[in-house]
Amino acid sequence: MQPTPNQEQHFQSSEKVRDFVIGMSDGLTVPFALAAGLSGAVDSNAIVITAGLAEIAAGSIAMGLGGYLAGRTEIEHYESEEKREYDEIENLYEVEIQETKDIFAQYGVPEDLQEKVALAIAQDKKKWVDFMMRFELGLDRPDKNRALQSAFIIGISYVIGGLIPLMAYFFTPTPTQGLVYSTVITLLCLIVFGLIKSKLTGQPVLKGAIRVTLVGAAAATAAFLIARFIG
């Protein structure tokens, strides 16, 4: 009988989850705080809903744009450092060989092998630059589509998160009642969101859910109090 191959399970979508967390957490808290602040100042659910939808539209665009710019910055930074690394291996060959040897030394490669391995890697400039980018500068090559993906995920998750607390105002007669149901719904969604996030990232589920709920509730409360104070 052949042994069963060892299949290691590693989470591969941390960047997408991070974008989802950013969009969803802000979407759950900011529109909720706005609606809650308005609930004590107006007597019409239509006003709360209109203002909430406008905030969700503006917030999702702003958050998505921020995600896009952050993604583009990451790509441009990598490309700039990569170009500099190519220049260095061309013009500072011996220095780069020594830096490569120093990296191997940090990982316990014997001194008599450091030179051999460094020279072997240097035979392929692209692989050598990739190696130096990863182990000298600590940079991984970003996905070319990263910026657009980040903008889309953050924007959509913000819309989804923002509609959840606002939905209560569609089905209640007064803003005060809408606020009560919106608060309950938002807290429940924060708990579920925390459970899913913790499961996806391999963190302790209960601990992660409590942490996300407390952080989200604190952010929503702070935003609500500010909105009420200003209003």
Higher-confidence position of 10 and 47: 47
3-state secondary structure at position 138: coil
Question: Residue 10: what pLDDT?
Answer: 43
> What was the pLDDT predicted at 179?
85
pLDDT at res. 62: 92
pLDDT, tens digit, 9 for 90 and up, residues 97-135: 888 888 888 877 777 787 787 888 888 888 888 888 888
As a whole number, mean pLDDT of residues 163-178 equals: 88
Mean per-residue pLDDT for 16-39? 81
**pLDDT per residue over 189-204, tens digit each?**
888 877 777 776 667 7
* pLDDT of amino acid 5: 47
pLDDT tens, residue by residue, 144-156: 888 888 899 999 9
What integer pLDDT is reported at residue 177 of this predicted model?
Answer: 87
Percent of the chain at pLDDT above 70?
89
Give the residue extent of every domain in the chain: 15-230
Q: How many CA atoms lie within 13 A of 137 on its CB side?
A: 18
Q: Is the pLDDT of residue 159 over 90?
A: yes
Q: For residue 227, what pLDDT is reported?
A: 62
CA–CA separation, 78 vs 148, rounded Å? 17
Query: Where does the pLDDT of residue 165 fall: very low under 50, low under 70, confident under 90, or very high at 90 and above?
Result: confident
Among 74, 13, 140, which Cα is nearest to 131's? 140
**Could you read off the pLDDT of 46-84 as tens digits, one per residue?**
988 998 899 999 989 999 998 899 888 888 888 888 888
- Helix ranges (H only) for 14-145 are 14-39, 45-91, 93-106, 111-121, 125-135
Of 210, 209, 198, the C-alpha closest to 11 is 198
pTM: 0.74
Q: How far apart are CA 30 and CA 38, in angstroms?
A: 12
Supply the pLDDT for residue 158.
92
